[in-house]
Amino acid sequence: MQFLSFLFPQVEFVLSKVKPVSYDDKGRVLPNPRHPEHDRLGFRNEAVPEEIDLLLMGDSQVYGTSVAREENFAAQLESNCGIEVYNMALPSYSPPYDLLNCDR
């Protein structure tokens, strides 16, 4: 099962309930690229686009914790405004976390 979960992130998600975030030793929120709904950088996008029109940062409301990825704020902006949006929001993010993460 561990081998399968390595090959298929969806298996790991079902078996262990992979969280969308983790925390480093300084308490900073980190995106989780192993979450099956996240892109390779760990944010809740289908993929990392070559170019974007709008970058979103925020907390669980912008992330869309209780809705499908296709229904979250970023997806709504993309479909209604016809622009490329990259969603860097994460549950439990807040302005202080944005400041803490500036040095990375």
Intervals of the chain under pLDDT 70: 1-17, 94-104
Q: Which tens digit of pLDDT belongs to each residue from 25-51?
A: 877 778 888 888 899 999 999 999 999
102 touches 95 (CB < 8 A) = no
DSSP 38-82: S-TTSSSSSS--SS-SEEE--SHHHHTTTS-GGGSHHHHHHHHH-
Element containing residue 31 per DSSP (H, E) = strand 29-31
Global pTM value: 0.72
98 touches 92 (CB < 8 A) = no
49 touches 41 (CB < 8 A) = no
Question: Mean pLDDT over all residues of the chain?
Answer: 80
